[in-house]
């Protein structure tokens, strides 16, 4: 198992953990080309750490996806998360 750490605003911490499964579903849509990645920049202070746990194979797919869109893995997941909220 791999733990992916990313930083988000403290007010979204609970929302992140409640919606982990939705985040993974959105990542699956990106992996199967059913959806396009839309980066979302926010101007919040990222003062809280959260973790997403995935298996090794899924992690490799995420790394490929981050290379494809030329963004860091944490920014990729954070953008997906903010597009949900």
- Residue 18, pLDDT score: 95
- The Cβ of residue 42 has, within 10 Å, a number of other Cβ atoms equal to 13
- Residue 77, pLDDT score: 93
Assigned token pair, 6:
């990313």
pLDDT category at 19 given cuts 50, 70, 90 is: very high
Residue 29 has pLDDT above 80, yes or no: yes
pLDDT category at 85 given cuts 50, 70, 90 is: confident
Residue 48 has pLDDT above 80, yes or no: yes
Closest of 6, 17, 1 to residue 85, by C-alpha: 17
Residue 42 has pLDDT above 80, yes or no: no
Assigned token pair, 19:
């919606």
Average pLDDT over residues 30-37: 89
């Amino acid at each position: 198992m791999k733990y992916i750490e990313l930083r988000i605003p403290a007010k979204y911490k609970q929302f992140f953990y409640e919606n982990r499964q939705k985040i993974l579903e959105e990542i699956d849509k990106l992996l199967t080309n059913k959806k396009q990645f839309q980066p979302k920049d926010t101007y919040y202070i990222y003062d809280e750490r959260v973790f997403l746990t995935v298996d090794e194979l899924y992690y490799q797919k995420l790394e490929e996806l981050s290379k494809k869109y030329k963004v860091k893995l944490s920014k990729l997941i954070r953008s997906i998360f903010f597009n949900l909220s």
